[in-house]
Amino acid sequence: MRRGLCGFALTVLTTVGYGQTVAQPRLMDAPAARSCAVQDEWATPAEKNCYATTPDYAETMAYLRRVQAAAPNEVKIEPFGRSGEGRELDIVIVSHDGMFDPAELHVAKRPIVLVQNSIHAGEMDGKDACLSLLRDMVITKSKAALLERAVLVFIPMYNADGHERRSRYNRINQDGPAEMGWRGNGTNLNLNRDYLKADAPETRAFMAMFHRWLPDFFVDDHVTDGADYQYDVTFTMDDGPNVPAGTARWVGEVATPMLEKYVDAHGHLASPTYITLANDSDPAQGLGFNDNPPRFSTGYMILEGRPGMLVELHMLKDYQTRVTGNYEILAGLMELVNRDADKLIALNATADTEAEAMGSHPLSNVKYPLTLAWGGETTPFLFRGYRYTRELSGVSGVMWVRYTHEPWNVSLPAQTGYKIVAETRPPAAYLIPAQWTGVIDSLAAHQIEMTRTTAPWAGVVETYRCAGMEWQEPPFEGRHPTFNGEAQHDPGKFGNCVLVREPMSFPAGSALVRLNQRLSRVVIEWLEPAAPDSALQWGFFDSIFEQKEYGEAYVLEDLAREMMAKDPKLTAEFERKVSSDPVFAASPYARLEFFYERSPWYAANRVGLYPVGRLSSLDGVPVSH
């Protein structure tokens, strides 16, 4: 039983959500299932233990291989890489007729659904749901119709190393199972923040597998943190400005309402939005805006031009409820994909065509949104929550929300609508100097098409001059980015990058990246500095902000006097700054640096000059073909 802190709290206010406080969710106790299913030889490991436990890596793979042996013409297990600690990463392919080759499936117009499980390995509900769904598709055949045309591909344990770091203490917010995995991988990176920067071996293996299969629909299964409420299944699909218009309409008008209805009709309660509160200490203020930059799996799917669904089972529901809820939304999705197969395939083809045309009209008035934020609009949302009390805590010193289990069905404002924070006009191509190997290697991990220059080349190109940067001091995902961790993109924190035209030189072997390719959106998001997960923001270009040459004080004293003698306006500017800025006036270094920064010697440092060129034309650039 979770212990309250009533002895340390002073009750000062009770708002909407009045209700009797009841026992809080359990933290350490063994989880309790609603019921134990009838056991037979094909009961999954979780079912055999009445959902009190989840199988470890070896037990999970043993069950999958037993199913494969029983249904070899319908199931294939295929490795796609290894984790940092050396564990095999696998996909399970489920096809009614033994067609397991992705190229053949695409030619046959068979839609492919890729489901990713256990990226946060303490949130393994989707893994156990997929084991049950697999059994019902190919062993009991009760769900065989879901394979009529669609093909299911699922990753049972993406974060395999985190999956094996099992403990009852890994998820303080979660009700079961008895032991669960860890959020980070073997080097403690959160793989669901790594999709664009691709630091982890798991991410790079995923990219190669994803582009080999190029699925028509992607699902990432999770378990929530956050507020308490009645829903046991919440889900969301992106439909924002960077989602192709036809896909966004299908998501909003067809897929979302159909899945909500399906889940509700099969014994669960679904919310077609991921529940985040605008104010964690006051649920009555409504629901917050969910930004989805490409560090996340489903945010990355936007760049791939594929619909992606984030599934979030509610952490405080028992494990059986969560697993069976995950099962139902996957079953509903497979039913939908079979029904709308032709439509979905056509939407994805249109998305690919649009991406390939991204660089067709370079530097035109067509702009690509780079960062998005809440647009300031709200929409009424019928929220099925629980009544609650608010108290001033003597422990934390802030308002403490305590939920009851008395239903609270209320219309709340939900933050909706997008505001474009930054945007760009796509060029025809980018040119990355050969020495920036980390930036180029990340693009290669995404299977971006690149060519290399065959000789040195110099010319005037578009690029950026950046200043005013600040770096996050505590590490975030093993780096010190310019953005503030999990916070929404903040242009003030990011600094200022101004588009300029500069003469630049590029050595032989520099990477030319054209935008006439399917993954053009990935290229833009990686190479445009203002994009929320760009290489610059993740720190791949930090050294361009380091000044390497300096002037000694006795040299700068002479330089300052020479410059003032030649330029009375500069003298007046200096004197104004001395008289108006006490900090500047008191700093000998700053006063001398004032002149150095306005001299040709400082310009040679090229501090803040972004080394990537934006090309409107490839004329004269020596590239291989």
For 308-320, what is each residue's pLDDT tens digit? 999 999 999 999 9
Report helix, strand and coil shares of the chain as percent, to nearest 5. 30, 25, 45
> 226-272, pLDDT tens digit by residue?
999 999 999 999 998 999 999 999 999 999 999 999 999 999 999 99
Over 80: is that where the pLDDT of 19 sits? no
Check residue 602 and give its pLDDT: 85
User: Does 362 or 95 have the greater pLDDT score?
Assistant: 95
Check residue 349 and give its pLDDT: 98
What are the DSSP calls for 4-58, one per residue?
Answer: P-GGGEEEEE--SS-----PBPPSSSPP--S--PPP-TT--HHHHTTTS----HH
Over 70: is that where the pLDDT of 6 sits? no
- The CA distance from 321 to 580, in Å, is 66
Query: Does the bond joining 475 to the residue before it have cis omega, within 30 degrees of 0?
Result: no
Give 61's pLDDT tier (boundaries 50, 70, 90). Answer: very high
Check residue 291 and give its pLDDT: 85
Q: Which of 160, 29, 154 is nearest to 92 (CA)?
A: 154
Give 360's pLDDT tier (boundaries 50, 70, 90). Answer: confident
Tell me whether strands 75-82 and 112-116 are parallel, antiparallel or unpaired: unpaired
Check residue 342 and give its pLDDT: 98
Q: Which residues contact 215 (CB under 8 A, 6 or more apart)?
A: 112, 113, 114, 153, 306
- For the chain, the C-alpha Rg in angstroms (whole number) is 28
Q: Which residues contact 622 (CB under 8 A, 6 or more apart)?
A: 453, 454, 455, 457, 508
Q: Are 471 and 483 in contact (CB under 8 A)?
A: no
Check residue 31 and give its pLDDT: 43
Spell 332-343 as b/e; 16+ CB within 10 A means b. Answer: bbbbbbbebbee
Q: Which of 541, 115, 117 is nearest to 332 (CA)?
A: 115
Check residue 605 and give its pLDDT: 83
Check residue 34 and give its pLDDT: 57
DSSP 252: I
Tell me whether strands 270-271 and 217-223 are parallel, antiparallel or unpaired: unpaired
CATH fold of 59-357: Aminopeptidase (3.40.630)
Q: What is the distance, to the nearest Å, from the Cα of residue 301 to the centroid of all Cα atoms in its chain?
A: 9
- The domain segmentation of the chain, as residue ranges, is 59-357, 427-547+607-615, 553-603
Q: Are 187 and 478 in contact (CB under 8 A)?
A: yes
Q: What's the predicted TM-score (pTM) here?
A: 0.91
Check residue 364 and give its pLDDT: 59
Check residue 246 and give its pLDDT: 96
Helix (H, G, I), strand (E, B) or coil at 250: helix
Average the pLDDT over 278-282 and give the result: 94
Longest dimension (CA), the chain: 94
Check residue 363 and give its pLDDT: 56
Give bridge partners of residue 112 from the DSSP assignment: 151
pLDDT over 70 percentage in the chain:
92
| Average pLDDT of the residues of the chain | 91
> 552-573, pLDDT tens digit by residue?
999 999 999 999 999 999 999 9
- The CA distance from 49 to 30, in Å, is 12
Residue appearing with tokens 């700093």: 587
